């Protein structure tokens, strides 16, 4: 403990020298208050106006340049304890806005003095766009963010592709809190994908979503890549193998389509179909559907219902694939059913939305 306090005091002195001689807008720094368990990571100016009413109260984030920031430091002020030089006290600092303690807004960050325009212009653009978006929302609805802060109660889990053109909220004009979203390359439902399974479990058992939408899209890069005999190298190629498996399952149908673009469109649809079936195979979906089917006095239908959809970027239309999941599951229930067969099958009536 004594050693830690000694190191902290030493670091405070060196930070003070560094800041005093730097061009950063921190003046008359008298003391530093470290936040958290790592005094070498973040500090607050208590001299220029902290929470005691005497300082600015701003928190600063530091990035130490070097292999071990806790070992040797050099004052960027120039040189040692006397301010004249010294290579043993090596401390190089880089300042960032703090993201978890009284943070500056991205817009304020974008307006600061720019040191490197090439690196900062993109953050500045996002800051300005965020401010414009916020002002627009407040002008349309002054209570917009007040309602957003109250939490979420989505009816839908949306499993879609990472493609930047196919955000679910844009496709259906969804409001905040309406859709819980998981996205990956080519909207895959892979049972060993911990990310997807954690999202699925949370959506079903905590948020209690009523519907799950698997949405593919035409002109999908992941689908196109899976139709090529090319090694895209791991981990991408490992991911695409799951789509190649769908291709294998429907090989005869797909090879009968002469036009490559039309073949890829059909594979998009078949891929959505198989990912929906993969959802039905999971214990999370089966358990919840059986539970809700057994309680018709509480639930209007077996939940969650699963829907297969495809979006066309060329015309902006979201299409529902006409699939009979009840028949598909009946065909394979002997293999995949995890709960009472009668109740499980009764839960799979899936009328159109």
CATH of the domain at 226: 3.40.1050.10
Residue from 186, 204, 178 nearest 283 by CA: 204
Residues 170 and 316 occupy one common structural domain: yes
pLDDT at 302: 92
Q: Is 161 an annotated catalytic residue?
A: yes
- What torsion do the CA atoms of 221, 227, 228, 232 make, to the nearest 10 degrees? 60
Q: Considering the domain boundaries, does residue 352 fall inside one? A: no
- Cis ω on the peptide bond leading into residue 171 (within 30° of 0)? no
Q: Considering the domain boundaries, does residue 353 fall inside one? A: no
Q: Considering the domain boundaries, does residue 60 fall inside one? A: yes
Q: Considering the domain boundaries, does residue 351 fall inside one? A: no
pLDDT at 115: 56
Q: Considering the domain boundaries, does residue 233 fall inside one? A: yes
Per the CB < 8 A criterion, the answer to whether 255 and 310 are in contact is no
Q: Considering the domain boundaries, does residue 26 fall inside one? A: yes
Q: Please give the angle made by the CA atoms of 145, 150 and 153, to the nearest 5 degrees.
A: 110
Residues 325 and 193 occupy one common structural domain: yes
Residues 239 and 330 occupy one common structural domain: yes
Residues 72 and 168 occupy one common structural domain: no
Q: Which of 150, 166, 184 is the last residue of a domain?
A: 150
Residues 61 and 134 occupy one common structural domain: no
Q: Considering the domain boundaries, does residue 181 fall inside one? A: yes
Burial class (CB in 10 A: 0-12, 13-18, 19+), 309: buried
Residues 77 and 122 occupy one common structural domain: no
Catalytic residue, from 220, 289, 305, 307: name it. Answer: 220
Residue 17: enclosing H or E segment and its boundaries? helix 2-21
Catalytic residue, from 14, 42, 163, 305: name it. Answer: 163
pLDDT at 111: 65
Residues 207 and 70 occupy one common structural domain: no
Catalytic residue, from 14, 42, 161, 263: name it. Answer: 161
Per the CB < 8 A criterion, the answer to whether 336 and 320 are in contact is no
pLDDT at 1: 53
Residues 94 and 141 occupy one common structural domain: no
Residues 177 and 238 occupy one common structural domain: yes
pLDDT at 119: 60
Q: Which of 117, 133, 150 is the last residue of a domain?
A: 150
Burial class (CB in 10 A: 0-12, 13-18, 19+), 244: middle
Residues 137 and 207 occupy one common structural domain: no
- Tell if the pTM clears 0.75, that is, is over it: no
Catalytic residue, from 63, 165, 205, 228: name it. Answer: 165
Q: Considering the domain boundaries, does residue 271 fall inside one? A: yes
Q: Which of 150, 184, 208 is the last residue of a domain?
A: 150
Catalytic residue, from 14, 42, 182, 217: name it. Answer: 217
Q: Is 220 an annotated catalytic residue?
A: yes
Tokens of 76: 């960027």
- Ranges of the chain whose pLDDT falls below 70: 1-120, 341-353
The long-range contacts involving 91-95, CB below 8 angstroms and separated by at least 24 positions, are 91/11, 91/14, 91/15, 91/18, 91/64, 92/64, 92/65, 92/66, 93/15, 93/18, 93/62, 93/63, 93/64, 93/65, 94/62, 94/63, 94/65, 95/24, 95/60, 95/61, 95/62
pLDDT at 99: 46
- The beta-strand segments (E) located in 35-169 are 42-45, 59-64, 93-97, 156-161
Q: Is 4 an annotated catalytic residue?
A: no
What backbone torsions phi and psi does residue 335 show, to the nearest 5 degrees?
Answer: -95, -45
Supply the range of the domain harboring residue 251.
156-346
Residues 287 and 315 occupy one common structural domain: yes
Report the number of distinct structural domains present in the chain. Answer: 3
Residues 52 and 70 occupy one common structural domain: yes
Integer-rounded Cα Rg, in Å, for the chain is: 28
Q: Is 112 an annotated catalytic residue?
A: no
């Amino acid at each position: 403990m004594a050693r830690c306090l000694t190191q902290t005091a030493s670091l405070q002195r060196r930070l003070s020298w560094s800041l005093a001689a730097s061009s950063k807008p921190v003046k008359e720094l008298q003391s530093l208050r470290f936040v958290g368990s790592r005094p070498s990571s973040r500090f607050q100016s208590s001299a220029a106006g902290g929470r005691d009413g005497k300082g600015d109260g701003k928190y600063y984030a530091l990035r130490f340049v070097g292999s071990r920031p806790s070992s040797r430091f050099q004052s960027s002020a120039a040189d040692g304890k006397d301010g004249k030089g010294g290579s043993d006290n090596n401390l190089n600092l880089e300042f960032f806005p703090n993201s978890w303690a009284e943070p500056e807004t991205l817009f304020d960050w974008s307006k600061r003095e720019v040191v490197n325009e090439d690196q900062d212009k993109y953050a500045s653009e996002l800051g300005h766009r965020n401010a414009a978006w916020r002002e627009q929302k407040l002008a349309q609805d002054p209570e917009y963010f007040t309602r957003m802060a109250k939490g979420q109660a989505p009816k839908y889990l949306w499993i879609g592709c990472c493609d930047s053109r196919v955000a679910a909220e844009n496709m259906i004009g969804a409001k905040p809190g309406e859709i819980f979203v998981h996205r990956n390359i080519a909207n895959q439902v892979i049972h060993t994908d911990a990310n997807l399974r954690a999202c699925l479990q949370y959506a079903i058992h905590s948020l209690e979503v009523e519907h799950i939408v698997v949405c593919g899209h035409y002109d999908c890069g992941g689908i196109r890549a899976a139709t090529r005999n090319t090694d895209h190298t791991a981990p991408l190629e490992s991911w695409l193998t799951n789509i190649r498996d769908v291709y294998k399952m429907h090989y005869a149908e797909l090879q009968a389509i002469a036009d490559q673009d039309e073949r890829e469109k059909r594979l998009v649809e078949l891929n959505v179909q198989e990912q929906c079936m993969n959802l039905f195979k999971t214990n999370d979906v089966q358990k919840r559907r059986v539970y809700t089917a057994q309680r018709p006095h509480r639930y209007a239908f077996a939940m969650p219902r699963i829907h297969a959809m495809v979006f066309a970027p060329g015309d902006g239309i979201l299409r529902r694939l006409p699939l009979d999941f009840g028949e598909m599951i009946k065909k394979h229930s002997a293999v995949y059913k995890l709960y009472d067969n009668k109740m499980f099958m009764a839960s799979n009536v899936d009328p159109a939305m």
